Chain A
């Protein structure tokens, strides 16, 4: 069947082996694809490795983000001399994969190498837990929260929670409902008081009355919720909040299909797919593993630019409610934050900035990034505790036109020339052994334990 005279390889076996390895490398391969590959090989009969490469890639890769994973498997199986490189440099597949979707293994070794190993060391010190997959044990260990306890927790700031409390907050957060404002879609639905006549149904009905359209069927525009885009800062200064916010992202992502979630510190990572799961704990583990830059420095401007360039401009932010969870500490150029916020505000329906420091009594807008971003925010809310998250939900659901919350404390920028207070977490290295450090489950190198459910923590 496969033209055995010319091809010496055992094609079905080859296809099977390659599929297996690709699956191991995280490229989704179905048996159907493997069968397609065998048929494609029979059709193309690749005589060069290069041709084989493109044949396999056409069949197996279904997204540009998978290309790197595919390449590494392919070259490890068939050797990497010259398929894309030296033989035909003109056609090299030099597509720069969007950095946020590359497999994490690539990025570990990048600039934060030393930091990563620090983290891994500190993470490794917490003992490995049995039955990580399901965390049955931990679940049993947490008693159901009493109402009074819930009330207490609701007002407690996220950075003051111990692991046990955090687990409860997570559970309570699951009840939080996020609803973005409505918009009218171009799609119709049947409606008795709709504006448009549904000719098709009217006519069908008229056959029953000898062709006289007595009952007029109507259609109306369907109403849908706006898209919600959440960008969460996971840099060092946001660390105590980020673990709670990740749960917030997960419940947001779980609340509807039209939610996009990103995290950023030094780079932007898209978590939508990692969070799309019916098991919030597992989703969070996956999300934590996907982002390589936990608790490093903040580059809000660069992250916003990356978002605008790669996603926002193409349509993700158009007409959407964009929520940014960040304290506004910018290590880069605040000018860039302002510029990118302006771009974003032209695309988005509303921008809600959630800054946990707004909850502090002596808060005034001082962080450079925050000052630059403020003119473009429709609402600035605190969201530092569970109760404050209600305000976030309200801000998300508010219609346009309601400008910044009057209730928020002094929003004026500091007078020019005043020295800026220093970022308290300026160091990119997490404080070892500190109770505000990310729970071990959040570390990128180990996505095993459920964050906050570590009972042997120091909380």
Chain B
């Protein structure tokens, strides 16, 4: 059976805020994050079970944004841990404040007062890194902990996360086990540069975020770029979806579509045509080869309407 999970106060608080999937989807929409039913259900379950949520998908489909929006909906802080190769406990969980410890030793020395080891390794000297901050978040609602791009960290680090993911607690040798009063809502994202360990996956809910449909993308773009003309949003969504179908190395994500519309709006362009694409292609395609592919296929093809 599953390990005992903390229920009671904080869970009720979250439950009151998002009683069902529809409400969650609505509230996410309220902070300009549009979800389809699959993602909404996953996020809802992650909040209510509660269980960490592992999000995968192409770059730029809004994995990180999902966690941010969740924090906004719950009105709690978002605590973000960006993973990278070599990240370890000192950077993710805690570190001792050595200069301060040294200073205290000197002070105790000169004033002749007794200093015990426990004094030096107390919470005054503890530097809290993201994971610990998320665990110690005082509430009333749990913090959202975003562990971003976990696939970049090495697999030792995954093993280190297991205790946190499953039981919302960590062990610090000098202090003992720290148990969260309000277990954080944990969102992990991965770009699949390597397979995550099964032990991690087993503890998480999983959702693959796909590219949105053109209609939804228009909606997203219009919400994100205030003042963009509706025609432009439709045309960009259309062009971007054509790019995804074509033979490019790095298909543009939603983030690129938003950037593109923003760039076009700044230039005062209301309608997308070949010269406009030509000027701004760099904001949506970031590889020289990809730009060549699209240019070779014809920029007119990209912006033609209909079908």
Chain A residues proximal to chain B, CB less than 8 Å: 28, 30-33, 35-36, 39-40, 43-44, 50-51, 54-55, 57-59, 61-64, 67, 88, 90-91, 93-95, 185-188, 199-200, 203, 206-207, 210-211, 257, 272-273, 308-309, 313-316, 343
Contact A58 B45 (CB under 8 A): yes
Contact B202 A30 (CB under 8 A): yes
Contact B86 A185 (CB under 8 A): yes
B296 within 8 A of A: no
Choose among B40, B90, B204, B205 the residue with the greatest number of A CB atoms under 10 Å from its CB: B205
Distance in angstroms from A291 CB to nearest chain B CB is 18
- How many Å lie between the Cα of A61 and that of B38 in the bound state? 12
Contact A203 B206 (CB under 8 A): no
* Chain B contact residue count (CB 8 A cutoff): 58
Distance in angstroms from B43 CB to nearest chain A CB is 9
Q: In the complex where A44-B44, A88-B37, A91-B37 touch, is A59 in contact with B205 (Cβ < 8 A)?
A: yes
- How many Å lie between the Cα of A43 and that of B250 in the bound state? 39
- How many Å lie between the Cα of A174 and that of B48 in the bound state? 50
A-side contacts of B271, CB under 8 Å: none
B215 within 8 A of A: yes
Contact A39 B49 (CB under 8 A): yes
- How many Å lie between the Cα of A272 and that of B194 in the bound state? 11
B-side contacts of A94, CB under 8 Å: 210
B-side contacts of A36, CB under 8 Å: 2, 49, 51
Contact A93 B86 (CB under 8 A): no
Contact A187 B206 (CB under 8 A): no
Which residues of chain B from 35 to 94 have a CB within 8 Å of any chain A CB? 36-38, 40-42, 44-45, 48-49, 51, 54, 56, 84-88, 90
Using CB atoms, name the residue of chain A closest to B101. Answer: A203
B-side contacts of A55, CB under 8 Å: 41, 45
Contact A54 B2 (CB under 8 A): no
Using CB atoms, name the residue of chain A closest to B47. Answer: A43
Per-residue contact bits, chain B 178-213, to A (CB 8 Å; 1 contact, 0 not): 000000000000011111001001101111101001
A-side contacts of B41, CB under 8 Å: 44, 51, 54-55, 58
B-side contacts of A314, CB under 8 Å: 191-193
- How many Å lie between the Cα of A404 and that of B59 in the bound state? 36
- How many Å lie between the Cα of A59 and that of B41 in the bound state? 10
A-side contacts of B90, CB under 8 Å: 200
A-side contacts of B88, CB under 8 Å: 187-188
Q: Please name 24 pairs of A and B residues whose Cβ atoms are closer than 8 Å in the assembled complex, sorted by A.
A: A32-B2, A40-B49, A43-B49, A54-B38, A54-B40, A55-B45, A58-B205, A58-B207, A61-B206, A64-B208, A90-B36, A90-B213, A91-B36, A185-B154, A186-B86, A200-B96, A200-B98, A203-B98, A203-B101, A203-B120, A207-B117, A257-B155, A314-B193, A315-B191
B307 within 8 A of A: no
Contact B206 A90 (CB under 8 A): no
- How many Å lie between the Cα of A206 and that of B206 in the bound state? 47
Contact A187 B156 (CB under 8 A): yes
- How many Å lie between the Cα of A158 and that of B37 in the bound state? 54
B-side contacts of A93, CB under 8 Å: 38, 210
Contact A315 B194 (CB under 8 A): yes
B-side contacts of A272, CB under 8 Å: 195
- How many Å lie between the Cα of A343 and that of B290 in the bound state? 13
B105 within 8 A of A: yes
Contact of A211 among B105, B151, B206 (CB under 8 A): B105
Using CB atoms, name the residue of chain B closest to A204. Answer: B117
- How many Å lie between the Cα of A32 and that of B86 in the bound state? 32
- How many Å lie between the Cα of A57 and that of B70 in the bound state? 20
B-side contacts of A315, CB under 8 Å: 151-152, 191, 193-194
Q: Given contact pairs A44-B41, A187-B88, enumerate 10 new A-B contacts (beta carbons under 8 Å).
A: A32-B1, A54-B41, A62-B206, A63-B201, A88-B37, A95-B208, A207-B105, A211-B108, A313-B249, A316-B193
Contact B249 A309 (CB under 8 A): yes
Choose among A44, A90, A91, A257 the residue with the greatest number of B CB atoms under 10 Å from its CB: A91
B109 within 8 A of A: yes
B-side contacts of A67, CB under 8 Å: 208
A-side contacts of B192, CB under 8 Å: 314
Using CB atoms, name the residue of chain A closest to B174. Answer: A204
Contact A43 B106 (CB under 8 A): no
- How many Å lie between the Cα of A68 and that of B208 in the bound state? 13
- How many Å lie between the Cα of A32 and that of B210 in the bound state? 27
B-side contacts of A210, CB under 8 Å: 109
B216 within 8 A of A: yes
B-side contacts of A343, CB under 8 Å: 249
B102 within 8 A of A: yes
Distance in angstroms from A269 CB to nearest chain B CB is 15
Contact B38 A316 (CB under 8 A): no
